[in-house]
Chains A and B, each alone.
Chain A
Amino acid sequence: MRTLRYLLQKEFRQIFRDPSILRLIFIMPVIQLIILPFAADYEIKNIKLAVIDHDHSSYSRNLIAKIASSGYFILTNYNGSYSEAMNKIEHDKADLILEIPASFEKELVKENESKLFMAVNAINGVKAGLGSAYLRSIIQDYNKEVRTEWIQFPRFDPETNIAVTYSNWFNSSMNYKIFMVPGILVLLLTMVGANLTAINIVREKEIGTIEQINVTPVSKVHFILGKLIPFWILGLVVFTLGLGIARLFYGITPAGNIFTIYVFAAIYLLAVLGLGLLISTYADNQQQAMLISFFLMMIFILLGGLYTSIDSMPSWAKAITKANPVSYFIEVIRMVVLKGSGLADIKSQLLTISGFAIVLNGWAVLNYHKRS
């Protein structure tokens, strides 16, 4: 016990004497949490639209005014030729082209139907898809307006209509930040936990201090606990800091019990620290440790369900996410923050992540040798 106390004391002394570690632990997460959620926005705005109006009629002007006033589009080019508009797309000055034929108004009045042409720059798939969908729904809306203007509807609609109204459960205003911020917090915790542990131990290897420790009677378990406990505490401090920022900057208060989140975070951290420990037993220097953890982190982030929904992944990718601790915590934190889930609801995730903690730490302990 006395040995462990001394190991912990030494570890904390070293951490608090290293200004770069403190910066890494505290300033990095704060800045990332403040900046990232604003930038990692799902909504597509500021779509640059080039309109080629061959008609110059009041109908075409109305249509353009309606599109421009929607807030999603910026009219960058008007009244050119199609080739001119295409040129804009090639120079990335336009994302969408809407061509209104010369006979737009005439045909609409005479034939009761008219055609529009839409060309989309599909380099950014998300922007192209959402942009054209927005434009289509605005045009449809316009279409309906024109119809009501002309046709005196009978008292009872001859067509059968299904009217759909909807309400958003758990995130009534569909605020994506409520959805993103907890997820980003999970990623930060993962990075801080795994990287710091891995690099800390590998640094002892590099400097040679681990060799000096290895010839002492300090047991493997004491040595590893002496490394895990400080970073476990630091991880929870960072997590608390992150929750504070979520509340302060984004007004996010968990719908569920904060205690539930902490229980999960505490076990999750054990798993992540075990991962860091495992990396450190395989890496010989800090560079290797960094590269291994970068490699894992990329997979964890992209297959973690933060940016893309796991449910829409192909089945093999879904299988990989089962081995990704990050995906469990993102799921849990969203459940608790948005839906108010309790410990009973997250039982299966809690058990899985405990399994991760046991396997990763066990593997690391087995793989850590005091002699070669």
Chain B
Amino acid sequence: MTAVKINNVVKTYGKKKEITALSDISFSVSKGELFGIIGPDGAGKTSLFRILTTLLLADNGNVTVDGFDVVKDYKAIRQRVGYMPGRFSLYQDLSVKENLNFFATIFNTSVEENYELIKDIYSQIEPFKDRKAGKLSGGMKQKLALSCALIHRPSVLFLDEPTTGVDAVSRKEFWEMLKRLKEQGITILVSTPYMDEASMCDRVALIQAGKILSINTPQGIVETFGKKLLAVKSTDMLRLLHDLKQCEEVQDAYPFGEYHHAVMRNDSKELLRSYLEQRGQSFELKEAEPNIEDCFMALMKTS
């Protein structure tokens, strides 16, 4: 069963349609899947989410959510999806409890009815239930927003960059919460600019400049990398990067944490070692496992 089906969606902005946000995007998400849309800022993630949540009309293409067309049956979709925008957009001058009650009521349900679903998340902010939403910390705001998006037991949940601006511990916690929601049978679409979060998803779509670079399981994406990846470190990292880019054996080199990653044309670790030795710099060279970020860089450069 597919929960979300996107066919050839195009969205442009500007009077002359000169800015392309999404160019011919197609993919589908199965029921109960935790699907990640991963791409840098400006890749078109929010435009896509706004189309999926019936807030924005696409120029071209058709989209169904839970079997309903986003243009024709938008009313039905609004009943059954949960949306958490990238920016905190609950009423800051209402308390935690009032916000939750409010959203429950306008979805024609009550907090008690679906308490089971949000209990896990809401119980963490329940001690502050009389505090104004605007006075909550970032992590708590995010939990409240998630509770409000879930209160009507949506079948599909759209989370637009939920972890942007959230600390590392809260991010990890948040992904744990998503995993538990998935177990409840809720389809979750989540966008994020953080590549390291890709491994938490069942499947991911890598998106860049309105185009999908690749759709696969995180494991599958890493496996398609297919090149030898080396990590190099030295005392003069800037010179090292420059040297790496000069080397003919190196297809691509970029900084990666405390190392530089070098994508090799051949399986030639020793060739690089001797090249760098000639340059007369002390360095540390090791083999590295490619991850999503490496794949993203490679896909970005080939497309």
Selected contact of A217 from candidates B79, B87, B101, CB within 8 Å: B79
Selected contact of A209 from candidates B55, B89, B108, CB within 8 Å: B89
A10 vs B102: C-alpha distance in the bound complex, in angstroms?
A: 8
Selected contact of A214 from candidates B55, B57, B92, B148, CB within 8 Å: B55
Interface 0/1 of A6-18, CB less than 8 Å to B: 1100100110011
State whether B56 touches A14 (Cβ < 8 A): no
Contacts of B239 in A (CB 8 A): none
Shortest distance from the beta carbon of A40 to any chain B beta carbon, whole Å? 37
Shortest distance from the beta carbon of B72 to any chain A beta carbon, whole Å? 13
Q: Is A164 an interface residue (CB 8 A)?
A: no
Closest A residue to B83 by beta carbon equals: A215
Contacts of B89 in A (CB 8 A): 207-209, 211-212
Contacts of A308 in B (CB 8 A): none
Contacts of A372 in B (CB 8 A): 55-57
Closest B residue to A226 by beta carbon equals: B106
State whether A10 touches B83 (Cβ < 8 A): no
Q: How many A-B residue pairs have CB under 8 A?
A: 68
State whether A10 touches B85 (Cβ < 8 A): no
Q: Is B103 an interface residue (CB 8 A)?
A: yes
Shortest distance from the beta carbon of A261 to any chain B beta carbon, whole Å? 34
A154 vs B257: C-alpha distance in the bound complex, in angstroms?
A: 119
State whether A3 touches B93 (Cβ < 8 A): no
If the complex has contacts A3-B106, A216-B103, are A211 and B94 also in contact, measured as CB distance less than 8 A? no
Closest A residue to B82 by beta carbon equals: A215
Q: Is B123 an interface residue (CB 8 A)?
A: no
If the complex has contacts A207-B92, A212-B90, are A217 and B54 also in contact, measured as CB distance less than 8 A? no
Shortest distance from the beta carbon of B57 to any chain A beta carbon, whole Å? 6
Contacts of A17 in B (CB 8 A): 93
Interface 0/1 of A240-281, CB less than 8 Å to B: 000000000000000000000000000000000000000000
Contacts of A218 in B (CB 8 A): 106
Contacts of B78 in A (CB 8 A): 215-217
State whether A215 touches B98 (Cβ < 8 A): no
Shortest distance from the beta carbon of B113 to any chain A beta carbon, whole Å? 14
State whether B81 touches A215 (Cβ < 8 A): yes
Contacts of A115 in B (CB 8 A): none
Shortest distance from the beta carbon of B212 to any chain A beta carbon, whole Å? 24
State whether A217 touches B94 (Cβ < 8 A): no
State whether B106 touches A216 (Cβ < 8 A): yes
> Which among A10, A17, A215, A217 has the greatest number of chain B C-beta atoms within 10 A?
A215
Selected contact of A7 from candidates B56, B92, B106, CB within 8 Å: B106
Q: Is B53 an interface residue (CB 8 A)?
A: yes
Q: Is A371 an interface residue (CB 8 A)?
A: yes
Q: Is B75 an interface residue (CB 8 A)?
A: yes
Q: Is A91 an interface residue (CB 8 A)?
A: no
State whether A6 touches B91 (Cβ < 8 A): no
A212 vs B133: C-alpha distance in the bound complex, in angstroms?
A: 15
Interface 0/1 of A167-211, CB less than 8 Å to B: 000000000000000000000000000000000000000011101
If the complex has contacts A215-B78, A371-B55, A371-B57, are A209 and B107 also in contact, measured as CB distance less than 8 A? no
Closest A residue to B51 by beta carbon equals: A371
Contacts of A7 in B (CB 8 A): 106
State whether B106 touches A14 (Cβ < 8 A): no
State whether A217 touches B81 (Cβ < 8 A): no
State whether B105 touches A6 (Cβ < 8 A): yes
Interface 0/1 of A144-175, CB less than 8 Å to B: 00000000000000000000000000000000
Closest A residue to B132 by beta carbon equals: A17
State whether A371 touches B56 (Cβ < 8 A): yes
Interface 0/1 of B85-120, CB less than 8 Å to A: 101111111100010011101111000000000000
Q: Is B259 an interface residue (CB 8 A)?
A: no
Interfacial residues of chain A within 342-372, with CB under 8 A of chain B in the complex = 370-372
A209 vs B83: C-alpha distance in the bound complex, in angstroms?
A: 12
Interface 0/1 of B263-301, CB less than 8 Å to A: 000000000000000000000000000000000000000
Closest B residue to A3 by beta carbon equals: B106
State whether A211 touches B106 (Cβ < 8 A): no
A286 vs B39: C-alpha distance in the bound complex, in angstroms?
A: 33
Contacts of A18 in B (CB 8 A): 93
Contacts of B106 in A (CB 8 A): 3, 6-7, 213, 216-218
A347 vs B166: C-alpha distance in the bound complex, in angstroms?
A: 62
State whether A3 touches B108 (Cβ < 8 A): yes
Shortest distance from the beta carbon of B43 to any chain A beta carbon, whole Å? 20
A-B contact sample (4 more), CB < 8 A, given A10-B98, A14-B91: A209-B90, A209-B91, A212-B85, A216-B78
Which B residues contact A (CB, under 8 angstroms)? 53-57, 74-75, 78-79, 81, 83, 85, 87-94, 98, 101-103, 105-108, 148
**CB-CB nearest 8 A-B residue pairs:** A208-B89, A6-B105, A215-B83, A212-B89, A218-B106, A217-B78, A216-B106, A208-B87
